[in-house]
């Protein structure tokens, strides 16, 4: 399941972890600049940290001084933390923080007093968005095939999952595997509508199954 999560949600910058399973849901990165009140930025960051922790959010305050903010951004993106909060001098002056989503990198300035409610709402939105994107991707990669020729052609040109009728005979599945490299990856728990004959041997079908190649 961990492997599937990485493959489904990850991108070129690293992991993208859904909020409900993320060990760290939010990371706070203070951004002090030379000539600014670094202490005030750090105090604000700690207050935001406490507010989120009290709201039941799994949050980390990255106070490390040996790394630049940009380096920290990349590290936490690589780890897939759902939300990053940036707090710089301008944010402190305006009593706000900058929220950055991991999935679409959308940046949203947010008033500090509204931070807990906004983060909780954003985590829910992000969870739903990841689920919907994965569901859409899955549906787009399922093709219903009705003949063996269509089965082989679709496997070569499109790939993905092939929804087909199967007679239930293991010898038939073995023949398909030897000829195409595809095997049954899923037999639905809930029986799907059955009408027709096996995609390979032409015998009466007993199951609707999903074939695919394993990589």
Segment 61-119, tens digit of pLDDT: 999 999 999 999 999 999 999 999 999 999 999 999 999 999 999 999 999 999 999 99
Together in a domain, 122 and 205: no
Q: CA angle, 45 as apex, 51 and 80 as ends, to 5°?
A: 85
Bridge partners, residue 100, by sequence: 84, 107
Residues with Cβ within 8 Å of 2's Cβ and at least 6 positions away in sequence, in order, are: none
Identify the CATH number of the domain in which residue 46 sits. 3.40.50.800
Tell me the pTM.
0.84
As a whole number, mean pLDDT of residues 43-58 equals: 97
**Mean pLDDT within 204-212:** 94
Strands (DSSP E) contained in 77-205 are: 83-87, 96-101, 107-111, 142-144, 161-166, 182-186
Considering the domain architecture, whether residues 134 and 160 belong to the same structural domain is answered as: no
> Which of residues 138, 170, 201 is at a domain's end?
138
Which of 93, 119, 138 is where one domain is finished?
Answer: 138
| Structure-block tokens of residue 71 | 């380096």
Beta bridge partners of 176: none
Domain that holds residue 78: 2-138
pLDDT at 193: 73
Q: Among 71, 105, 138, give the residue marking a domain's end.
A: 138
Give the dihedral sign, CA 199/201/204/207: negative
Asked if residue 172 and residue 88 are part of one domain, the reply reads: no
- Compute the distance between CA of residue 104 and CA of residue 180 in angstroms, rounded to an integer: 37
CATH number (domain holding residue 176): 3.30.110.30
36 pLDDT more than 80: no
Residue 38: pLDDT band by 50, 70, 90 thresholds? confident
Helices 148-157 and 170-180 sit at what angle, rounded to 10 degrees? Answer: 40
In this prediction, residue 35 carries a pLDDT of 67
131-187 pLDDT, tens digit each:
999 999 999 999 999 999 999 999 999 999 999 999 999 999 999 999 999 999 999
| Domains: count for the chain | 2
| pLDDT recorded at residue 214 | 85
């Amino acid at each position: 399941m961990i492997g599937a999560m990485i493959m489904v949600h990850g991108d070129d910058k690293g992991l993208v972890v859904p909020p409900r399973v993320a060990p760290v849901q939010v990371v706070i990165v203070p951004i002090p600049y030379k000539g600014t009140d670094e202490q005030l930025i750090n105090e604000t960051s700690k207050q935001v940290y406490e507010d989120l922790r009290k709201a039941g959010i799994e949050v980390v305050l990255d106070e490390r001084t040996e790394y630049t903010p940009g380096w920290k951004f990349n590290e936490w993106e690589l780890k897939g933390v759902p939300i990053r909060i940036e707090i710089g001098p301008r944010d402190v002056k305006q009593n706000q923080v900058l929220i950055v989503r991991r999935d679409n990198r959308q940046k949203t300035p947010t008033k500090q007093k509204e931070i807990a409610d906004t983060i909780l709402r954003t985590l829910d939105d992000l969870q739903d968005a990841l689920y919907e994107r994965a569901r859409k991707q899955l549906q787009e990669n399922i093709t219903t095939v009705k003949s063996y020729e269509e089965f082989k052609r679709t496997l070569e040109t499109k790939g993905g999952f092939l929804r087909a009728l199967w007679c239930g005979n293991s010898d038939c599945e073995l023949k398909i595997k030897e000829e195409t490299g595809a095997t049954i990856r899923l037999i639905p728990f809930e029986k799907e509508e059955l009408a027709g004959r096996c995609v390979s041997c032409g015998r009466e079908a007993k199951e609707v199954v999903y074939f695919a190649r394993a990589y």
